[in-house]
A and B are shown apart, each in its own frame.
Chain A
Amino acid sequence: MIIHMIPGDPVRAMLGDMYTEQAAVEIRRTLGLDRPVYVQYFDFMSGLPRGDLGTSFATRQAVAPEVFGSLQYTVQLALAAIVVTVVLGVPAGIVAALHRDRPLDTIAMAGSLLGASMPSFWLGILLMILFSIYLGWLPLIGVGSWTNPLSMLAHVALPALTLGIRGAALTARVTRSSMLEVLSQDYMRTATAKGLRNRVVVTQHGLRNAMLPVVTLVGIDLGQLLAGTAIVEIVFSRPGLGSLLVQSVLVRDYPMVQGTFIVYLTLIILVNLIVDLLYGRLDPRVTYQ
C-alpha cells in the first residue's frame, strides 16, 4: 500500500516520452491499475495463500518465479558472506583482546576500522582487480552453474568477501570488547588459578561467554545481508533480491516490490528466530517455555 503513496506512476515510467492518454488508459486497464487501490490490495492478498504474488508490470509475467529465482542467489551470497564474517571477524577480535594495547591489537583494530570504512562498491572493484585481473584466481562476474558447485563457489567468493569484510570488521570490534569484559571476570581468574592452561581458559570459559553479543550482531548482519546486497549484486553482475527490489522500485513495479518485501519479511523473521534459539544453546540460563 505504501508504494502506491510515493510519487511516481508505473504507466508513465513504462511509456516515458511515448506517453499518450490513449496508451496510458489501455495499459492501466490491462494492468488493473484502473481499479481502486484497496481492490488491488485485496486481490494481491487473496493470491498470497496460493503462493500467487501477482504479475509484474514490467515483464507481464508471474512475480513468484522471479522472486524465488533471485532468492536462491541472495541466500547463497548471504550465507557465504556470513562465513567470511565469522571466520575473519571472531579470531581477529579474540587476538586483539588477548593482546590488548599491543601491536597485534593495533593491527587488528586498524584493519577493522579500514574494513568498516571501505564502501563495498570500491572494495569489490579492488578485489576484482587483485583476484581476477592480476592473480587470475577467481572469475570476475557471473554466478556459475548449479550443475557445477565448484564454479558456483568460485563465483560467490569475491562478492562474499566484499560483503564479509565489512561484517568481519564490526564483528572483530564487538568480539574484542566482549572478550575483554569476560577476561576481567573473577571466574576467569579462578580458572587460571586452578591451573588450567591459558588456551583452555580462553576457549572454554572465555569465548563461549563472549559469544552472545557476537551472535546477536551476526544475526543482525545476516538480516542486513539478505536485504541489502544490491550494490554488490550490481557490481558482480549477480541476480538477487536486492537488485530486483531496487529495479522494481525505480520503475514502480508494485507487484514485484510487494512480492520481494513479503519474502524479505519472512527471511528476517526466520533469521531472528534462529538467533533466539541459538541463545539457548550458548547460554544455559536462557530457557524457552
Chain B
Amino acid sequence: MTKNKPQGLVSALDLTNTRFTRRQMLVRSLGFGASIPAVAALLAACGEDDTVGDDPGIDPDPDDDDELDEPELEDDDDVEDEVVDEDSIISVRVIQDVETVDPPLIPKVTDYAIGHLIYNGLMQYEPGGVEIVPDLATDWEVSDDGRVYTFQLREGVQFHQGYGELVAEDVVYTYDRAMDPETASQFIGDMAPIQSVEATGEYTVEIHLEDAFAPILRTVIAFRPGFIVKQDAVEDKGENFPLDPIGTGPYEWHSRTRGTEIVVTRNPDYFDPVDIHTVRLRNIEEDSVAQLALQSGDLDVGYFFEPEIALDLLDGVLPDVDTMQLSGYRTQWAGFNLQKEVMQDIRVRQAVIHAIDKEATAEAVAGDLAQVVSSIFNPNIPGYIDPDPFPYDPDRAMELLEEAGYGDGLELDLLVIPSTTWPDLVIVMQEQWRQVGLDINLMTQERSVYDDLVAQEDAPWDIFTVNLTRSEAYQYASYFFSYNIPGPNYHRYDNPEIDELAARAVAETDPDLQLELWREFQEIVLIDDVVGFGMTNINQVLAWNNRVQNVDFLYFDCFPVWQMSVS
C-alpha cells in the first residue's frame, strides 16, 4: 500500500470536489459519533459474560437492584424463592483481585479473606487476636512427645453443592495434596515437619510430625493450607477449582466479576447458622476511594492502612461509621548484613540504632497509629521483649563510631522495602543518621527487585528493612536461623546457639517454658549480637457502617462475617 501524503494544509482544496453537502457531513458525523457507543455496546453483547460462577441468580453488580434472588440449591426440595433483603447483603473491602482460592496455593490477603468464608480448617484463628480455637475439630490433643496431634471432627458437616459429609479421609486428602510436590504449594516448607496424616476413624484424624513442632498449629493447621477440601470436588472442578471452590464454610462461592468483586452467599447447611445472606468482597485498592465508598454506602466494612485516612476515620469524619484501632501484626524491623566487613563491627551496628529517634520518627510518619517496638517480634506475639537496649542517644552513637574508627563519617547502603510506611520512615531516619556522621544511601526498589537484592549472595546493601505479618514467634525467628542461608536469613547470621534455642522452643510443650526460650532468643539476637532492631508496628483501622453489628478483626486482614449481623 502506498500513500500520497497531503501536500500540506496551506494548499487550497478544490471546493467543488467536496464530496459531502453540509447536511450529509452533519448526518455522517452524527452517525460516526453514535457508532462509537454502538461499537461498545456491540462489544458488550459479543463479549462473554465476565461474571464467572455457577449460578446466574444474583446480579454481580446489583447497585440498581433492591433485591437479590437466592441462588438455586442442588436439591430441588430445598429451593425457595427467597427474596434477599438488602439489609442482608454487606460489602467488605479487599485490596486486590482474587488469584486463586485453592488452599495450598492461596497467595495473598484477598484470597485468604475469601478462603476464610468458603472453607473451614481443623482449627482457626479466633476473631480479635491470634489465639487458636477449634473449627472443624470438636476436640483435639497433643501427645506427650508433641509429635502426634489428634483431632476429633465435628459430625454432620456438609460440603457445598451436595458434595457430601466431611469425614477424616477428606482431611487426609487435603494434607496429602498440599504436601505433594506436584501441587507445588508455596507452603511446602511450612508443611515439612509433617510426616503423615492418618484417618484413625470416620471422624478422627491424626497428624504425625517428624519431631515436635508447636508452631504447626498456626503456620499450617489454622492457616491457608489447612483449609479442608473434598477430593471429588477438586477432581470434578479440575482447573476451575481455584475460582469455583467447594468447602464446608459459612459461605458458598457465587460469582466473580473480574477485577471488581467476588460474591459469596450463605451456606444454608452450615453447622453454625449465619445472619448475613450475601457478601460482596469488593476490590478497592486505594484507601481514599475506599473512604468514599464507605461514605456513599458502596462499602460496609474495610481495613484502612494509609495513616492520614485511618486517623481521619478514627476522628469520626464520617457519620454513621464506627471504627476500631487495632494493634496489628505488621512489624517493621531492620537487619544488618554481617557479610560486610564494616557491619561486622558491633559498635557500628549499635551506633546505627542509637542514632534513631524512633518515637519522633514514628510520630512524624504515622501519628497515633505508630507503635514503637524494640524487638523483631511483633508486640502482640507471646514472648515479645520490650526494653529497648539501644535507646536514642546521638552522642553515644558518635562515640561508638569514633571508637570503631569512623569518626570522620561512614557511608552505608540501606535497602528499602517498598511497602507500608518504610519508605517514609527511612527519609526521616536518614537525617537523624546524618547528624551522627552516618551517610545512608537509600536503595528504594520495587518489590521483585527488592526480593532479588535482599537474597543476593554478595548483597550490595549494609542494612535491609523488613515488613512482616506473622502470628508465630518461630516465623519471625526463622530470619535468623543459620540453616536459612540462603533463605530468609538475609543477615547471613550464623549462630548455632540460637538454632539450638529455636529447636528447643518449637519442641517445648510447656507454653511458659517456650515463651522463656523465645525471650532468650531475642536477647541474644537483639542485645548480645545486635543483628537487627525493631522499628514500629503500625496499627491499622477497621471501619464499618454502623448498621453492621459484631464487627471484629480477624488475623491477616480477614473478616469474620459469620458472626456479623445487620441491624
A residues engaging B (CB < 8 A)?
A: 7-9, 12-23, 26-27, 29-31, 58-62, 66, 68-70, 72-73, 75-76, 79-80, 82-83, 86-87, 125, 128-129, 132-133, 136, 139-149, 151-153, 155-156, 178, 181-182, 185-187, 191, 200, 203-205, 208-210, 212, 233-240, 243-244, 247, 250-252, 276, 279, 283-289
Instruction: Say whether A139 contacts B4, CB under 8 Å.
Output: no
Question: Considering only CB atoms, which chain B residue lies closest to A83 in the complex?
Answer: B36
- Which chain A residue lies CB-closest to B298? A140
Complex-state Cα separation, A175 to B55, whole angstroms: 50
Identify the stretch in B43-51, B112-120, B372-380, B422-430 within 8 Å (CB) of chain A at 4 or more residues: B43-51
B-side contacts of A12, CB under 8 Å: 448, 451-452, 455
> What is the size, in residues, of chain B's interface with A at 8 Å between Cβ atoms?
89
Given contacts A142-B63, A276-B3, contact A7 B452 (CB under 8 A): yes
Determine which of A19, A75, A139 lies in contact with B43 in the assembled complex, contact meaning CB atoms within 8 Å.
Answer: A75
Instruction: Judge whether B189 and A23 touch: CB under 8 Å.
Output: yes
Q: How far is the CA of A239 from the CA of B22 in the complex (A)?
A: 41
- Report whether B184 and A30 are in contact in the complex, using a CB–CB cutoff of 8 Å: yes
Contacts of A186 in B (CB 8 A): 12
* Known contacts A14-B186, A66-B258; 6 further A-B pairs (Cβ under 8 A): A8-B448, A26-B181, A59-B243, A72-B44, A139-B298, A187-B13
Residue contacts A-B, CB under 8 angstroms, 6 given: A21-B487, A30-B184, A237-B259, A237-B282, A279-B6, A289-B1
Q: How far is the CB of B49 from chain A (nearest CB, A)?
A: 5
Q: Does B257 contact A (CB under 8 A)?
A: yes
Pick the contact of B259: A27, A59, A70 (CB < 8 A): A70
A286 touches B5 (CB 8 A): yes
With A61-B242, A210-B9, A288-B2 known as contacts, the answer to whether A79 contacts B47 (CB < 8 A) is no
B296 touches A21 (CB 8 A): no
With A13-B447, A13-B451 already in contact, the answer to whether A58 and B61 are too (CB < 8 A) is no
- A182→B44 contact, CB < 8 A: no
- Which chain B residues lie closer than 8 Å to A151 at the CB level? 61, 63-64
CB of B544 within 8 A of chain A?
Answer: no
A contact residues around B292 at 8 Å (CB): 125, 128-129, 132-133, 140
Cβ of A236: which chain B residues have Cβ within 8 Å of it?
Answer: 289
B39 beta carbon closer than 8 Å to chain A: yes
Name the B residues within 8 Å of A287 (CB-CB).
Answer: 3-4
Docked complex Cα distance between A216 and B243 (Å)? 43
A128–B41 alpha-carbon span in the complex (Å) = 24
* B59 at interface by CB-CB < 8 Å: yes
- Pick from A60, A148, A200: contact of B22, CB under 8 Å: A200
The 5 closest A-B pairs by CB, nearest first: A239-B259, A8-B448, A30-B184, A20-B189, A72-B47
The one of B105, B258, B288 that contacts A125, using a Cβ cutoff of 8 Å: B288
Cβ–Cβ < 8 Å partners of A62 in chain B: 239
CA separation between A250 and B455, bound complex, in Å? 17
Interface pair B259/A133, CB less than 8 Å apart: no
Closest to B96 in A: A247
* Cβ 8 A contact of B9, one of A21, A212, A288: A212
Q: Is A8 a contact partner of B44 (Cβ separation < 8 A)?
A: no
User: Which residues of A lie under 8 Å from residue B242 when comparing CB positions?
Assistant: 59-61
Which of the residues A19, A22, A212, A235 comes within 8 Å of B289, measured between beta carbons?
A235
Q: Are the CB atoms of B50 and A146 closer together than 8 Å?
A: yes
Cβ contacts under 8 Å, B452 to chain A = 7-9, 12
Q: Which residues of B contact A66 (CB under 8 A)?
A: 258
Give residues of chain B (197-235) contacting chain A, Cβ–Cβ below 8 Å. Answer: none
Q: From residue B57, how far is it (CB to closest CB) to chain A in Å? A: 13
Segment 87-119 of B: residues with Cβ below 8 Å from A: 96-97, 99-100, 102, 105, 107
| Cα distance, A148 to B115, chains bound together (Å) | 30
State the Cβ distance, B384 to closest chain A Cβ, in Å: 19
**Interchain nearest-CB distance for A178 vs B (Å):** 7
Q: A58-B99, A72-B44, A186-B12 are in contact. Are A234 and B50 (CB under 8 A)?
A: no
Which residues of chain B come closer than 8 Å to A208, judged between CB atoms? Answer: 18, 25
Q: Which residues of B contact A155 (CB under 8 A)?
A: 61
C-alpha spacing A13/B185, complex, angstroms:
14
**Contact A83 to B33, CB < 8 A, known contacts A187-B15, A239-B260:** yes
Q: How far is the CA of A87 from the CA of B37 in the complex (A)?
A: 13
Which residue of the partner chain, among A18, A73, A140, A234, contacts B285 with CB atoms under 8 Å?
A234
Residue of B nearest to A77 (CB): B40
The CA of A111 and the CA of B40, in the complex, are separated in Å by: 29
B14 (CB) vs chain A CBs: closest residue: A284
- From 482 to 505 in chain B, residues with beta carbon under 8 angstroms from any chain A beta carbon are 484, 486-488
Q: How far is the CB of A176 from chain B (nearest CB, A)?
A: 14
B6 touches A237 (CB 8 A): no
Report how far A125 CA is from B289 CA in the complex, Å: 7
* Contact with B296, one of A9, A73, A133 (Cβ below 8 angstroms): A133
B61 in contact with A72 (CB, 8 Å): no
CB of A140, distance to nearest CB on chain B (Å): 5
Please state if B4 and A58 are interface contacts (CB–CB under 8 Å).
no
Q: Which residues of B contact A13 (CB under 8 A)?
A: 447-448, 451
Measured in the bound complex, the distance between the Cα atoms of B19 and A29 in whole Å is: 64
Residue of B nearest to A87 (CB): B33
Q: Which residues of B contact A185 (CB under 8 A)?
A: 9-10, 12
- Asked whether any CB of chain A lies closer than 8 Å to the CB of B567, the reply is no
Q: A31 contacts which chain B residues (CB < 8 A)? A: 184
In the complex, what residues of B have CB within 8 A of residue A27's CB? 184, 186
Query: Inside 8 A of A285's CB, which chain B residues have their CB?
Result: 4, 6-7
Q: Mark B149-169, 1 if CB is under 8 A from A, else 0.
A: 000000000000000000000
With CB as the reference atom, state the residue of chain A lying closest to B468.
A17
Q: Complex: how many Å from CA A66 to CA B18? A: 47
Question: Complex formed: what's the CA distance from A19 to B298 in Å?
Answer: 38
Docked complex Cα distance between A185 and B252 (Å): 70
Residue of B nearest to A145 (CB): B61
- Of A13, A17, A20, most buried by chain B (CB within 10 Å of CB) is A17
- Give A209 to B8 CA distance when docked, in angstroms: 10
* Smallest beta-carbon distance B216→chain A, Å: 14
Does any Cβ of A come within 8 Å of B513's Cβ?
Answer: no
